A and B are shown apart, each in its own frame.
Chain A
Amino acid sequence: NIIIIVIKRFAVIAKSQSITPESCEVRVYNEEVELEDRDPQQDYMLYKDTCADLAKLMAEIQELKSSGAKSVEIEERHRQCSVHFITLKKLNRLAHMRLKKGRDQTHEAKQRVDVLHLQLQNLLYEVMHLQKEISKCLEFKSQHEEIELVSEEEFFQEAPAEISRPHVTRDDNHQLTLARLDWELEQRKRLAEQYKMSLARKEKIQKAIEQKREYLSSLQPGLQNIMQASLPVQEYLSMPFEQMQKQAEVARHLPPPLYVLLVQAAAYGQACDKTLSVNISGDVDEAKALSRRPEDSQEDESDSDAEEEQQNTKRRRATVGVQLEDKRKAMLRRHPLSLCVDLKCKDGSVLHLFFYYLMNLNILTVKTKVSTATDLSGAVSAGELLNSESLLNCLYASDHGKETPNPANRYQFDKVGITTFADYVSDLGHPYVWVQKLGGLQFSSDGAQNVIFALSASHMEKTMKLLRGRLQARLALHKQFSSLEHSIIPVSSECQHLFPAKVVSGLTRWTMMSYQEFTHVLKAGLVCETDLFFMAVVERGTARLLAAVVLNPRYPEVMPLFSLSLHWKGERSGRTEDNLRAMESEVNVFRAELQGPRPGLQLLTNQIQRLCVCLDVYLETESQVCDGSEGPREFPREKMCLRTARGPSRLKPFKYNHPQGFFSHR
């Protein structure tokens, strides 16, 4: 062991000694120099050999030790082993040195590679950066491109030479663009100037306008004074502007149907009929109050009703009836404002129509009044003619005005226990269908109600004409009736040609009849309850002809119907005898002949006169038939007849021919 250590140290010193004189820079072991000379493969073979020797020596030592040999041989072998160990150690050192060298070399190379790699990266990065910059530069849009420049031709035309510099710019695009930008700038500056000037002018004008406005508003009070002063002038000239304005003021509070009616009637009056005038009457303040709370009122009622009901059922039962009555009254409430339309006729009589609007039922009703210029003498039978209840009955066919035309009212009535509206008609007025139409109310079957102006306009003229016609017809009838009651049949001169000069039979009685009495006389189906019934008695000698007359409210549009029965030598009637039937036909059917001059108001009196003539013919020709064995005839033949009988039923000649004056068959 001591020997080994010494050898090791010796190696070390030997190394260090060999180095010093030569280089200060590289300090390397001596053995490292040796490295370059020796071959690793050889060293490896040497290692192997040495190991093998060692193994062999160890085996020999082992043998010797076991066999108990001398220590000298063992020592020998020990020494050999040690030498081998030294060799091994050297080899180990060499190996380590080789390894280190290898590593250092690798390290160096790697470093070189790293440096290059880094350079490469840097360059690549720079390339990329530059590329980006290039692309950015290429994409760059200069703001100047957003400015809309005038086209090149225009530019060259308009711009002055200093700016356009065509000799330069025509070739060089860059210069051209610059020049154009310059020009643009010039122009913009100029326009900005102009703008400022315009603004300034506008301000001035504005101020002028303000001044004038003030002046005008200062005139207003002056005008008012003039209007006031002109009122007496208006009246004098009968151009009632003030009145119309006031009416318009009040009209604003009218419910829509009444308003429609007002507008249409006033328009019609102005345009076509100077004798028609419209007024509004009623309480304006109440109307204003109503219009202020239109929704509340209805809801209030129902709420308060509910409350009342609850309270009352706890108390006495008797109040229910009263409360129902109140509900009814509330339902049938009229709007406080109403319209009054006056139709004046030529003879001075006036038909006053009062139109009311029932708010909850949404219908219009009308009441009438007739005022005549002269006092109508009381003809007993004429009592019903001008009765305001029935005056406007059936103005249009079957428009009786007894029931409300609004189908929705049925449900409302059921709620408050009103069975028919007819009970209230005399109080509230008649809800005729034409009145609804004049107010623009149309009740279609699904209950939709619209206030339509066109509906009112289309009916206005016709209805007014009918109303006027109705009044005139009734007044004419009134006069005729008072004459008839005095047994005089008034035949005007225009109608004289219808009758022969001499008429012997005369009217002796003219009275009114009731519907019940009449149904016995004539089949129902031709008459209804709204008709007026009269009885005329025509007499000659012992013969008495009773004529039951049905007068439709729409006279003279609808002909009166006569039904005859003759009391002479027995009783015959139009139902049983053909000749009386022919007389009825003569009187009932020939309207065109009998109605006389327009408007045909002489129809009834002509019919009665014709009846007398027919009776004359009947009686005079009747005596002819028999064989003359009775003695003197009661009615001598005075009428000229071509033939007294014709046809199987041997009818008499009732047709009068003018001017020859004879009778013939039709």
Chain B
Amino acid sequence: MFISLQLLHMSVFSQSFSPCGRFLAAGNNYGEIAVFSLSAALSPDASEASQKPILNFTAHDGPVFSLLSTDTHLLSAGNGEISAWSWAELIKKVRISCSVNDNSLIVGGGDNNIHIMDMETGIFKSVLKGHTDYIHCLCFKEREEEILSGGEDGAVRIWDARTNRPVHCIEVFKYEECARPQFGKWISCLATDSDWMLCGGGPSLSLWHLRSMSPTSVFPLPGCQREAVFYQDLIMSVGEGPHVSHCLHGGTVKAQIPCTPSSLNTLALNLKNSEHRVMTVGGSSHQIDVFTNFSYRAFSLSF
């Protein structure tokens, strides 16, 4: 099959499921966002056409590195701008960028700072400074209302969301169990689950206990991980290398499921909709792999 050059050199950087869980939005390096219909792709009479986007539009000039869904909107981050798209309109295959009326949005930027924006008014409320290089990943601990950020400078910083002050700073690369100097010190993935934190990147993917601020398990995964999530009692992570790794809390790698792209940038789990409970991964390819059973790849959506 002849693939155009564009498709050959496309990479998917971000994904987000719709609030109803029936649609998946994916952003690529050309600045395009494609909306796929999961219900069509998962239905028994799905065809090749249902694995194509129902809507494909150019959202930004540069790559769309980050996509986030609120209850009503899809937020996309491009080169220096954040756009909000109404999910209702996207599902109707119309794209209108409009304002949201929600709470606050935490944005980690290439300017080494974290910005908190009030989504109702669109005004940035505060700035969290501290990182010395750009920020790769952010996550939020709801119970304690803390923000965790990981950056290129190798530090994981924990901020108090109410007072906007730094609470902790963990320099992961300084810990011998995790550090992998041959790769570097940057942290490219972060995930929290109550007291636990996953982080990885240049250093190996490791599970930390936040009370004690120490790594409890280190996962022997070969490449640099770019995204990791907690799912039930598993940890799933993707990164360099064409596979999704399933790991156990103890530190063992249970399985490595092969995928189409040669390296993966983003992993997303559709937990909002029990009918379409899938895991989707995207990376250095124009195809997004869909896992209905998390143990093997079912099919691929294609830009």
| A interface residues (Cβ-Cβ under 8 A, vs B) | 525-526, 559, 561, 575-578, 581, 584-585, 588-589, 625-627, 629, 643, 645-650, 665-666
Contact = CB atoms under 8 A, between A and B. Distances in A.
A647 B63 contact: yes
Given A525-B3, A578-B284, A648 B13 contact: yes
B1 A646 contact: no
A648 B134 contact: no
B63 A525 contact: no
Given A648-B65, A648-B266, A627 B181 contact: yes
Contacts of B3: 525-526
Nearest to A624: B184
Interface string B88-122: 00000000000000000000001000000000000
Nearest to A575: B262
A576 B266 CA distance: 17
B226 A648 contact: yes
13 contacts: A576-B262, A578-B240, A578-B263, A581-B284, A584-B9, A588-B8, A625-B184, A629-B181, A643-B110, A645-B134, A645-B152, A648-B266, A649-B265
Report the 10 A-B pairs with minimum CB-CB distance, sorted nearest first. A585-B9, A648-B226, A625-B184, A648-B265, A627-B181, A589-B5, A578-B284, A578-B263, A647-B65, A589-B9
Q: In the complex, which of the residues A561, A577, A578, A648 has the most CB atoms of chain B within 10 Å of its own CB atom?
A: A648
Interface in B244-297: 262-263, 265-266, 283-284
B6 interface: yes
A contact patch SS: loop
A616 B265 CA distance: 26
A645 B9 CA distance: 18
B206 to A, nearest CB: 18
Contact of B134 (A525, A559, A646): A646
Given A629-B181, A648-B188, 11 more contacts: A525-B2, A578-B11, A578-B284, A581-B11, A584-B9, A627-B181, A627-B185, A645-B152, A649-B11, A649-B265, A665-B62
A647 B227 CA distance: 12
B22 interface: no
A312 B121 CA distance: 100
A626 B263 contact: no
A627 B184 contact: yes
A525 B240 CA distance: 26
Given A576-B262, A626-B182, A648 B9 contact: no
Contact of B186 (A559, A585, A645): A645
Nearest to B9: A585
B131 interface: no
B1 A525 contact: yes
A576 B242 CA distance: 8
Given A578-B11, A627-B185, A666-B62, A649 B5 contact: no
B136 interface: yes
Q: How large is the interface on B (under 10, 10 to 19, 20 to 34, 35 or more residues)?
A: 20 to 34
A646 B110 contact: yes
A647 B60 CA distance: 15
A576 B263 CA distance: 7
A526 B3 CA distance: 7
B136 A648 contact: yes
A526 B2 contact: yes
A12 B183 CA distance: 195
Contact of B226 (A576, A625, A649): A649
A581 B261 CA distance: 12
B94 to A, nearest CB: 29
B9 A581 contact: yes
Contacts of A643: 110, 134
Contacts of B240: 578
B270 to A, nearest CB: 20
Nearest to B285: A581
A168 to B, nearest CB: 106
B202 to A, nearest CB: 8
Nearest to B188: A648
A518 to B, nearest CB: 16
A359 B185 CA distance: 76
B286 to A, nearest CB: 12
A120 to B, nearest CB: 116
Contacts of B13: 647-649
A243 to B, nearest CB: 50
Nearest to A645: B152
Contacts of A561: 5
A629 B29 CA distance: 33
Given A626-B181, A627-B181, A649 B2 contact: no
Contacts of B63: 647
A627 B184 CA distance: 6
B199 to A, nearest CB: 14
A625 B110 CA distance: 17
Interface in B135-152: 136, 152
A526 to B, nearest CB: 7
Contacts of B11: 578, 581, 649
- Which residue, of A559, A575, A588, A645, has the highest number of chain B Cβ atoms within 10 A? A645
A649 B136 contact: no
Contacts of A625: 183-184
Interface in B162-207: 173, 181-186, 188
Nearest to A574: B262
Interface centre among B240, B283, B284 (most CB of A within 10 A): B284
Contacts of B185: 627
Nearest to B189: A648
A46 to B, nearest CB: 146
A559 B5 contact: yes
Contacts of A645: 134, 152, 186
A603 B122 CA distance: 46
A584 B65 CA distance: 21
A617 B110 CA distance: 21
B205 to A, nearest CB: 14
Contacts of A650: 152, 186, 188
Interface string B1-31: 1110110110101000000000000000100
A647 B136 CA distance: 7
A589 B10 CA distance: 11
Contacts of A577: 263
Nearest to B179: A627
Contacts of A647: 13, 63, 65, 265
B112 to A, nearest CB: 11
Nearest to B181: A627
A213 B45 CA distance: 90
A260 to B, nearest CB: 35
Contacts of B227: 648
A77 B63 CA distance: 185
A38 B239 CA distance: 177
Contacts of A526: 2-3, 8
A576 B252 CA distance: 25
A395 B22 CA distance: 48
Contacts of A578: 11, 240, 262-263, 284
Contacts of A576: 262-263
A648 to B, nearest CB: 5
A646 B79 CA distance: 11
Contacts of A665: 62
A626 B185 CA distance: 8
Contacts of B62: 665-666
Contact of B5 (A575, A588, A629): A588
A627 B173 CA distance: 10
Contact of A649 (B8, B134, B173, B284): B284
A527 to B, nearest CB: 10
